[in-house]
Amino acid sequence: MCGIVGAVAQRDVAEILLEGLRRLEYRGYDSAGLAVIQNSELQRIRRVGKVKNLSEGLADQFLSGGTGIAHTRWATHGEPTERNAHPHMSQDRIAVVHNGIIENYRELKTQLTEQGYQFNSDTDTEVLTHLIHQLLDSGLDLLAAVQKAAQTVTGAYGTAIIDKQNPDQMVVARSGSPLVIGLGIGENFVASDQLALLPVTSRFIYLEEGDVARISRKSVEIFDKSGEQVERKVNLVDAKADSADKGEYRHYMMKEIFEQPTCVRQTLEERVSTSGIETGIFGNGFEEVIPQINHVTIVACGTSYHAGMVAKYWFEQYAGVSCSIEIASEFRYRKFYVHNGSLFVSISQSGETADTLAALKLAKEQGYLSSLTICNVMGSSLVRESDFHFMTRAGTEIGVASTKAFTTQLVSLLLLVLTIGKHKGLNAETELNIASALMQLPGKIENALLANDEIEALAEEFADKHHALFLGRGEQYPIAMEGALKLKEISYIHAEAYAAGELKHGPIALIDAEMPVIVVAPNNELLEKLHSNVEEVRARGSVLYVFADKDAKFESDETQKVISVVPTEDIIAPIVYTIPLQLLSYHVAVIKGTDVDQPRNLAKSVTVE
């Protein structure tokens, strides 16, 4: 949700900030802006729309200066207009960029208005801007003013502030929204994600909750929430982690779909082999917790929630423990029953989703046995807040619609099922079968990707459709849901998924020739039931698109197109069948000409409620 970049350097920083914003655009992209201190004056440029518009603006109005901040926005308070775009300024003295929400902005706005401050936007950020200005006016220095402001505002945020009267420094604060400081040589940076800064440095400090930092060219001073100066660890990040390059692909999403065999291999590496699951892969002490686990509660949002839904089937079938799965925004606001010996599992590609984080914090207060997060971003809030974490190792995912993060989440969950199952009576033969199926998974995904051209051709048939229905049974039901979500997210076609057996209880009324129905049909014990469901649809005139194992006895004809999927062991079938559905949404979106990597109204990391 919103991306922040800042720099204090001797050289002009506008281009560095702009490149940082391009790399952060996945966090939001309805407006963007940049401010630098040029000859002791603040110069600002803001544009509605993507960073590209800001970059065009900068071509006409070059801003020179070594201290600057920039922002790409996903609107929360105030519509996406230029006046609401960041940076916000107070009386031409300070400029502020901010990510997150200031909850008590109304009362602060009233107070500041009474003190004569004029508001030029509808944002909560402007309240923070004037508040810091007022504290500076009261005689505090920039650091003290930001520290005081941080104590006054409530809510989750990350912010960076520059002051034309202190042109060689920038002050930043983190409260609930990530911020990372990038250390250069004679120059220093800040961003809401290290990805933004990989072109300029590989040394990073992750700020902790409540930290405020004063950054100059030659120094970084960090103060914790009690105001004590603290040292934070410097992390070296491998520049190869920089995947912000599309390479030969037209879109990040396509690149990320095709990276899946490699990502899955990485997720499996040193964690499982044909002789079974390795011990200790969920961290020191986790195996000691397992004997006490009687129940697993999974909480997540969006695509990660679908991964959790699949895992519920696996836990109850193989690990001998009951499992419940819930959407984080629901879980956090209801009274829930904590089963004795419940492990709390959060799943999140970003590790920053506000609802999932709040659910975890709540669970920690409510007597859960222990907490584990499955996540793709090391050092993220969920990773830090959980007792245990397990990294999916998918590499940075830039496309807003999640692909490789999802399949590696599924792989990670299967490793968790094996790890817990081993202590709960999973027999050695089943463990070896699952381990060997997992070892074959990268190859199966490679095989599934071979259907790309066939699916591209098929996608033409969807381009003029307004609705689509996805059907699956068992653990393929969540895969159908994920397929429908992908299609909605990037092609804007209204798509719904149903458990195939539920079709006759209502949704069948929707079926006619204009409603394509996509069926996920591996060759498993539910196949015969699925055949009956498919016939119910055929009898009502819809065109069916069946993704099926070649042994599943589906034949192509005028009303039914069968797309053959490599024969796959049941256990990994949900992962393999995800691939053609990702390809289908991608190609439909490309044909429709939507913005595949940055679909309208979405953001990759949702750090607000």
340 φ, ψ (degrees, to nearest 5): -60, 130
Which is nearest to 318 in space by CA: 406, 429, 482, 405?
429
C-beta separation of 182 from 197 below 8 A? yes
291 φ, ψ (degrees, to nearest 5): -55, -25
Nearer to ligand G6P, 76 or 605 (CB): 605
**Does the active-site annotation cover 2?**
yes
Assess 602 for contact with ligand G6P (CB under 6 A): yes
Token couple for 66: 């070594």
- Judge residue 316's burial from the number of C-beta atoms within 10 Å of its C-beta, 0-12 exposed, 13-18 middle, 19 or more buried: middle
Question: CA 401, 404, 407, 410 torsion: positive or negative?
Answer: negative
Letters for 270-309 (x = contact with ligand G6P by CB under 6 A, - = none) are: -------------------------------xxxx-----
Answer for which of 97, 309, 400, 500 binds ligand G6P (CB under 6 A) is 400
Tell me the window of 227-235, 254-262, 496-504, 598-606 that interacts with ligand G6P (CB under 6 A): 598-606
**Does the active-site annotation cover 240?**
no
Q: What CA–CA distance (Å, rounded) separates 115 from 135?
A: 12
Nearer to ligand G6P, 348 or 560 (CB): 348
CB 329, min distance to ligand G6P, A: 11
Q: Which of 50, 444, 486, 604 is catalytic?
A: 604
Which residue number has the CB closest to ligand G6P? 302
Assess 121 for contact with ligand G6P (CB under 6 A): no
CB 376, min distance to ligand G6P, A: 8
Considering only residues 333 to 352 of the shown chain, the ones binding ligand G6P according to CB under 6 A are 348-350
Q: How many Cα atoms are found within 13 Å in the side-chain-facing hemisphere of 281?
A: 24
User: How many other C-beta atoms lie within 10 A of the C-beta of residue 278?
Assistant: 14
Assess 510 for contact with ligand G6P (CB under 6 A): no
Chain centroid, CA 376 distance in Å: 9
State the amino acid at position 183 in one-letter form. Answer: L
CB 260, min distance to ligand G6P, A: 16
CB 604, min distance to ligand G6P, A: 5
C-beta separation of 93 from 164 below 8 A? yes
Total number of residues that touch ligand G6P (CB under 6 A): 15
Answer for which of 22, 174, 444, 604 binds ligand G6P (CB under 6 A) is 604
CB 328, min distance to ligand G6P, A: 8
- Residue that the structure tokens 């990989």 belong to: 198
CB 304, min distance to ligand G6P, A: 4
Nearer to ligand G6P, 215 or 589 (CB): 589
Assess 389 for contact with ligand G6P (CB under 6 A): no
Q: Going by C-beta distance under 8 Å and a sequence separation of 6 or more, which residues neighbour residue 116?
A: none
CB 123, min distance to ligand G6P, A: 22
Tell me the window of 46-54, 523-531, 564-572, 599-607 that interacts with ligand G6P (CB under 6 A): 599-607
Q: Strands 272-273 and 276-277: what pairing?
A: antiparallel
Assess 590 for contact with ligand G6P (CB under 6 A): no
Nearer to ligand G6P, 55 or 348 (CB): 348
Q: What's the chain's length in residues?
A: 609
Assess 402 for contact with ligand G6P (CB under 6 A): yes
Q: What CA–CA distance (Å, rounded) separates 543 from 545?
A: 7
Q: What CA–CA distance (Å, rounded) separates 111 from 131?
A: 10
State the amino acid at position 510 in one-letter form. Answer: L
The residues annotated as belonging to the active site are 2, 604
Contact footprint for ligand G6P (CB under 6 A): 301-304, 348-350, 353, 356, 400, 402, 602, 604-606
